[in-house]
Structure formats: structure tokens, C-alpha cells
Structure 1
Amino acid sequence: MWPQIILHADMDAFFAAVEQRDRPELKGRPVLIGSTSRRGVVTTASYEARPFGVGSAMSMMKARELCPHAVVVRPRMARYSEISHQVMDIFRDFSPRVEPLSVDEAFLDMTGAEGLFGSPREMGAALKRAVLEQTGLVVSVGAATTKYVAKVASDLEKPDGLVVVPPEEVEAFLHPLPVRRLWGVGPKGEERLHKLGLMTIGDVARLEPSLAASMGSLGAHLFALANGRDPRAVVTNRASKSVGSERTLGEDISGEAAVRPHLLRAADDVAQRLRKHGYRAAGIRVKLKTAQFELHTRQRRLVEPTDVAKSLYEAALTLLPEFDLSRRFRLVGLAAFDLVEEESRQFELFKAGVQSDEHRRRLDTALDAVHDRFGGLSLRRASELDPER
């Protein structure tokens, strides 16, 4: 008996799949979505490109070295957003309780819908058919009693996967998997767990509770997940779709050096608002308006959601080569999108070094306290100061 039924639906190589659908000549060919500039990154790689070692967030230069015959396509975010709305509407035909995580994935709470759609496996199969019939795109689905297990399941047999994990099989399903499958373990966290002799999720599940507790709140979090415990409910009233900050300048500017300080100030403002409301962003958008009032935007997904100003700023800088910065601009803006709740972020376990996101976050939080007490201009970064003053 399933106490609750959670589906995690994840579109397969979404951006690339949309391009292959809209342009039939790309079907079956390796496709890379992203900028062709020297500092551009791969936003999405089609499954035909992945056997060559190409993946999201890789530099486009490296990706083209690995897969020189790939077709590079500039992203069409408006088109992807349009298709995303269609997909989410299909999800809502199955359940009113849908929690979008990004443009291409969502949780669905299907508890009590057995009379309409049948067993959890039949639910997943029906959802996959509906998406394919109505959009021509493929979605992978995981079904389980918790969000965490459903998300792991949806990823295991991509593309076009359907993995169902009954409650009595959760431990048998999770325990053989590598520790990197734990929600919150990144590359450095995996390395540290390996040094502790923890190679599989089962190894973490068999830890003495006191040892898990000695690793702090994250240790307790991983111990609970490894034992199949995840009390989080599907949340339908998620945050606003984006948080932005923009500034109309007193004088027009041109060139990257002139744009950078305004992006940094905007990143500080956006990051502070994200932290205040308990969210992290999985995407970043840069907006520039020319002296002729022409609006230009570029955006990208982040490897990991963040609420750290420097991380947002550094991601924004990677987008600048996609603009013609020889033009004169009257407005500079930055927005964070694809917001996720603070509690659902993926932790980078034991991440070391002063450049880590957590170190930066502690610094930003300290700045928040100063600004709250003495005002927003009481303490500023040296890089924000006008060098001519």
C-alpha cells in the first residue's frame, strides 16, 4: 500500500529536443545548445552528443573539440518557455498538486488518483504518453512515495525512462547506488565520503546515528535520505519566477569594464533578496538596454542553485561575450530565475577553500546584517567604487 504517490517528471535534453522537433534536419544528430563565443558554455547537449563526453555547463570550445561534428544552436528561451507552459499544463491535467522545479521538470502529487489513472506505473505511463502525443517530446518519470526517491528514479533510465519504486523496495533500490546519488552530494562531497569508506548509499544508511550526527545537519540529512526518509510535501505555491535588479544610468556606458561594476551591484541586490526570502536561483539573466532603447537579454542555467552574489556575478560575466559591448548602454540589469526553496538545495558536502559558495555566503550574510542595521550604502565592495572619484 502506497501512503502517498509522488511522480517526478523530467524532460529529456529539453532545449535540444525542442530544436530537434522544430527542425527535423537535426533529428538524430548531435546538437549543442549555447553560444559559439570563446567563453560560451553548453546549456544542453542532445543525447547523440553525450557519448562523446559532452555535457551541460562545459565550455563550448571544449565541447566542440570532443564532438567536432555537433551542430551548435543558439538558445531560444522564449520558445522553450512556451513549450514549458504546455508541458506544465499537461502535468496539471493529471494533478492539481504540481511543483515545477525548473522549465523542464516537476513533482506531481498523485495521491488518491488511482481510481482515475490506475497504479503508479500506469500513472507514469499515461503521463509519458500525454506529453509525447501533445508536444512530440519525451519525458522520463520516476514514481515513489517520496520526492527524493522519485527524483532519483526518474534519472536512472534516461532517456524515455519509467522507474517505479514501491515503498517496500526503497532500501533495495537505493542502497546499491553510489553516494553521488544522494541529494546534496557534489563531486567534493563524494570524494570526502569515499575517504570515510562510504561508497554506496547503503554504506551511509548503515552509519551509526551518532556518527551521522557528528557530521552536522547535513550528515543527519544524508542519513535520512539514505534510509528513504524525506518528509517534504509537493509545494504548489512556489516563489515568484524571478528576482531582478536593474539600473538606468546617469550617463551611457560601453565596454565590458564599464558594465561589470553595475552587474556586481545588481548581483549583490538580487542575492540579498534571495537570501531574505529563503530561495536560491538555478538560472541567471543579463539585460542591457542601448541608448536607442533596444533591449537585449541573454541567460543561462547554473550548475547548482545559489544565493551568493559572487557566484551570480561570475555566471553573468560568462554571458557578456554574447553582447555587442561596443554599443552604448543606458540600462544594466541582472535577474535570477528558476527559484528553488532554500531547504531543497543540493549541498556541496565538506566543500573546502575560501572560494566555496558557503564561505562566500557567510560573507554575504555578514554584509546583510551591516546593511540592515546601517543602510545599504554603509559598506560596499571596493570593486563597486568609482575609480575616478
Structure 2
Amino acid sequence: MQIIFHIDLNAFFASAEIATHPELKGKPIVICRDSRRSIITTASYEARQFGIHSAMPLFKAKELCPHIITIPPHFDLYKTLSQQFFHIVSTFSKKLEVASIDECYVDMTEYIQQNNISPSVAAKKIQSTVYEHLHLQCSIGIAPNKFLAKMASDMKKPMGITIINNKNYKEKLWPLPIHTMFGIGKKTAPKLIAMGIMTIGDLAKHENYDKIRSVFGKNTLLFYQKANGKDFSKINYSKNELKSVGNSTTFEQDSNDEDFIKSMFRELSHEVSQRAKKRLLVSNSISITLKYTREKSRTKQMIIDHYTNDYDTIYATALLLFEGIYEGEMLRLVGVSLNNVIHQDELNEQISLFAHASESNDAKTVNQTDQIIDQLTKALPDVKIVKASSLIDETPVQKKYLKNNE
């Protein structure tokens, strides 16, 4: 039987700040910018004792705890610690799937067998190694599959170790409220509760199978099996590859000042370019996001005729997309992304019909057309100049990236 660990860094962003500034230890802190529009990204366990949690507006947190300490996010620090965390875990097992910046699934079967130790001993060794090197705490769920491991890691925090197996999953899992089941969203839980599915145990009952079909549709069997402790998904190494590089910013106040909005696109494009270049990533798909309210947003994508991580190209494309869809509305957030990124070493680009035959395929090389357009743009700032190829009306194959998102 395989032994899967789900390892979750506890209150990661807050813990990262405490690890860097030990004087914050034991104090209620939240990670977000100190402004009236801020939403809390992470709250330390000391802050959580006041009822503060992630996604809570900062003004509400200050009402619950007037002496709360607000720390702006330092994403470069979090990314560095995250990479170091995954590296440490990979020294125990290379069979690792990154689930997010602060959690992963690991197949520990071989390590445990080779070292002739119990799963709990192996988990304690990982915890102590991570804490010794990074001063970060983590919780670990141990189970025969990914779903049960994920559920287990959430049961004891911080620094908890929980084992769920085929013998005790009914005892551990079935009494839990249905909304706590991994994969059950905020919209789905009320629908299940309305039909009498109050716990995971209710979902696991065969007599409720036809009832829940109206909620889960083609995924009914999948959720039914998970509620009964079964999950046949494998460790997915491909998920470790970065699929997009993007950045966004929320304004202090809603704005329809186009000069200001374009200046934000300029800053975001520069940040995205720098991040992509640092990782040697390129893309031919650039998108922007405009967010009007909490509920309303719009995303627009363009496929260009070459792979790039060049700032000027990203910024020019972002502006072109913006001018194509913006109609003067008040905005609260804008974002820029490179989608479907690939490593420069993997680049095997065919020469575009609109490109010069002697152009280099190297993403670092600016072709002659780009140079001319760049020169003309600088000389004629009020004139919009683009390649003929960018005017072709084509529908990207991966339509899922065109969906509006929050």
C-alpha cells in the first residue's frame, strides 16, 4: 500500500515574516497592505484567537483586535522560502506534487520502506528538518491516498501529524460537516445541506447517491468514492511546472483615470517581464484583467506571433488589449499575465509568415520589425502601430483562459 503525505506550511505568509523578524513571535499579525480596501491574506495563530481569518477586510480585523500588527506582503521572500521548503521535502522523496506555494503531496512509500521506520517518525523528521532550516512549522497528513492525506493535514495545526487509513477513515471523516470536505465549495455545500446531506458520512451513504447526482452531475461517483475513503488520483509531477506568470494590483480607490491605469499596466508589465526572465520563461499569450467590482471582472487574451518575455512587448500588448475593451468604467484592480509559459530551452518556434526569414528563434533577440515599430512608437507616441499579424482574428485553442475570473 502506498503512503502519501500531504504537507502544509502553517499560516505560511505570517510565519515567513516571523521567521525573518523573530520579534513578531507571539504577536497578532496579519499580512496585507494597510489601507481601507485591504483584504487579509494570512493571519497568525495569535490573530486567529480574536476571530480574524484570511479574506476578512482589514477594517473588520481592527475592530476585533485594535492592536493588530499589519505587515505588507513580501512575495519574493515567500517564493524563496517556498522553493527551499520543496527542496527539503524532495530530499526525502522525489515523488512530489506541488499543490500551491505552501503545500505539496509526497509519495513516501519507498523512503519509509528503505529506512524501516514508521510513517509518523518520517513525518516528525520532515517537520524538524523544515523548522531547523527555515523556522517554519508544517502540518502533515498521512494516508493511503491524496484525498485522505489532505483531509488529515487540516485536522491538527500547527505542527500536527494525523494518520487516516482504511480502518479509521469512517471514525475520522464521516462525522465532519459537509463543508469541510476538500473539493466542496461555498456554493455546493448549501445545496447539499438543503437536501439533508449534513456530514461527509451522509454523502458516503449509498441510498443518497441518486439524490446527490443533481448536485455533482458527472462527478458524482468521484465525490461518493472520496467520502468512502477512496481516491485513485496519482502524484502529478507535471503540476510542478509554472503555467503562467502574472501580477495584479488593487487600487487604493476606484479609478477611471486612464493615465493612472496605464501607469499601473506599465509597472505590472515590468514586474511580469522580470519574473519571467529570472526563470527563463517565455510565452506567446498575453492577457489582462480588469476588475470593476467584487463580482464583475473581465479578462482578455491575445496570441502574438512570437514567444517573448520582453517588457516592451508585454506592455504594448497590454495597452492594446486595454484600449480594445475599456469603456471608461471605474476600476478597482488591473492585472497582466503571460499564459502557457514554456522554458526558453523548450522553444522550437516556427518562423511566422509575417516575420523576416533571417530572424533568430532566440526569445532574447528583438527582430527587425519590432525594432522599427519601437522606433516609430517613440517618434510618434500618439500613433498606434502594430504588426499586421496581431490584427488576425484567431481564437486561441485553450478557451479556458478566456473565461472571466475574479
Determine the structure 2 residue equivalent to 1:269. none
Q: Which moved more, 1:179-188 or 1:145-154?
A: 179-188
Alignment of 1:53-132 (within 5 A): 53-114=51-112, 115-116=114-115, 118-132=117-131
Q: Which runs of 5+ in 1 are unaligned?
A: 247-254, 264-285, 300-309, 319-329, 340-372, 382-389
Determine the structure 2 residue equivalent to 1:162. 161
Pairing partner for 1:375 from 388, 391, 394: 394
1:235-266 deviation digits (Å, cap 9, x = unpaired): 112264242479xxxxxxxx654279879xxx
Q: Are the aligned partners of 1:132 and 1:138 in contact in 2 as well (CA < 8 Å)?
A: yes
1:112-165 deviation digits (Å, cap 9, x = unpaired): 222226121112111111111111111000000111110111011111111011
Determine the structure 2 residue equivalent to 1:148. 147
Counterpart secondary structure, 1:81 = helix
In the aligned structure 1, how far is the partner of 2:288 from the partner of 2:166?
Answer: 39
Q: Which runs of 5+ in 2 are unaligned?
A: 248-254, 276-286, 296-314, 319-334, 342-391, 397-401
Given the superposition, is the C-alpha separation of residues 120 and 16 from structure 1 closer, same or farther in structure 2, using an over 3 Å criterion? Answer: same
Counterpart secondary structure, 1:28 = coil
Q: Are the aligned partners of 1:35 and 1:73 in contact in 2 as well (CA < 8 Å)?
A: yes
Q: What TM-score do the two structures reach when normalised by structure 2?
A: 0.63
Quote the offset at 1:43 in angstroms.
Answer: 0.9
Alignment of 1:1-389 (within 5 A): 3-114=1-112, 115-116=114-115, 118-208=117-207, 209-215=209-215, 216-238=217-239, 240-244=241-245, 256-258=256-258, 288-289=266-267, 313-314=290-291, 334-335=336-337, 375=394
Q: Are the aligned partners of 1:142 and 1:154 in contact in 2 as well (CA < 8 Å)?
A: yes
1:143-194 deviation digits (Å, cap 9, x = unpaired): 0011111011101111111101122222222111111122221233222211
Corresponding letter in the other structure for 1:227 = N
Quick check: which has more Rg, 1 or 2? 2
1:45-67 deviation digits (Å, cap 9, x = unpaired): 00000121211121222222222
Corresponding letter in the other structure for 2:210 = S
Quote the offset at 1:18 in angstroms.
Answer: 1.2
Quote the offset at 1:219 in angstroms.
Answer: 2.8
In the aligned structure 2, how far is the partner of 1:99 from the partner of 1:53?
Answer: 32
Cα RMSD over matched residues?
3.6
Corresponding letter in the other structure for 2:129 = A
Counterpart secondary structure, 1:108 = strand
Counterpart secondary structure, 2:26 = coil
Kindly report structure 1 stretches of 4+ aligned residues shifted beyond 6 Å: 259-263, 315-318
Corresponding letter in the other structure for 1:163 = T
The structure with higher relative contact order (CA 8 Å, sep 6+) is 1
Given the superposition, is the C-alpha separation of residues 224 and 260 from structure 1 closer, same or farther in structure 2, using an over 3 Å criterion? Answer: farther
Corresponding letter in the other structure for 1:314 = K
Corresponding letter in the other structure for 2:43 = A
Q: How many residues are treated as equivalent by the alignment? A: 290
In the aligned structure 1, how far is the partner of 2:161 from the partner of 2:292?
Answer: 34
Q: What TM-score do the two structures reach when normalised by structure 1?
A: 0.66
Q: Are the aligned partners of 2:137 and 2:159 in contact in 1 as well (CA < 8 Å)?
A: yes
Counterpart secondary structure, 2:15 = helix
Q: Are the aligned partners of 1:174 and 1:202 in contact in 2 as well (CA < 8 Å)?
A: yes
Identity %: 33
